[in-house]
Amino acid sequence: MAFVLLALVMVTAFEVFSTGMSRAGDLDDRSRALAVAQSQLAAAGTEELFKEGQVQGETADRRFRWTTAVTRTEEGQDPTRPVQAPFILYRVDVRVDWSSATGRAQSLALASLGLGQRPQ
């Protein structure tokens, strides 16, 4: 009886341990994806001027794929008035995709706003 009870406790402990290790791996992946997304947001508008469009890439280890989309936002502008401001507001959306250790597709998305020069 003691052996059966010990076996049940060991099986349960192993299940809890393996689930915890799996979750730790998932959290590590999410943390790395967040770092990639933040890096892409920080690079937008600093390495080059804001330019509408979409750029894709992947990390050096090819685990994470990212897409950065830049769009102009001119909400609230009156179309009958000429624009006088020298700057324009851009929205930057970054999406990072990867596969978890179990093969399940994962993604993370961040967005930010930035000021850029109005195109001539």
Instruction: Quote the pTM value.
Output: 0.72
Provide CB contacts within 8 A for 114, sequence distance 6+: 44, 45, 50, 89, 90, 92
CA 117, chain centre distance (Å): 26
Q: Quote the CA–CA distance of 55 and 68 in Å, as a whole number.
A: 5
Domain boundaries, the chain: 2-117
Whether the CB-CB separation of 59 and 29 falls below 8 Å is answered with no
Is residue 76 over pLDDT 60? no
Contact, 101 vs 26, CB < 8 A?
A: yes
pLDDT digits (tens, 9 = 90+) for 98-108: 998 788 899 99
The pLDDT score that the predictor gives to residue 119 is 65
Alpha helical stretches, state H, the chain: 2-43
pLDDT tens digits, 33-58: 999 999 999 988 887 788 889 999 99
Q: Please choose, from the candidates 69, 67, 68, 54, the residue with its C-alpha nearest in 3D space to the C-alpha of residue 98.
A: 67
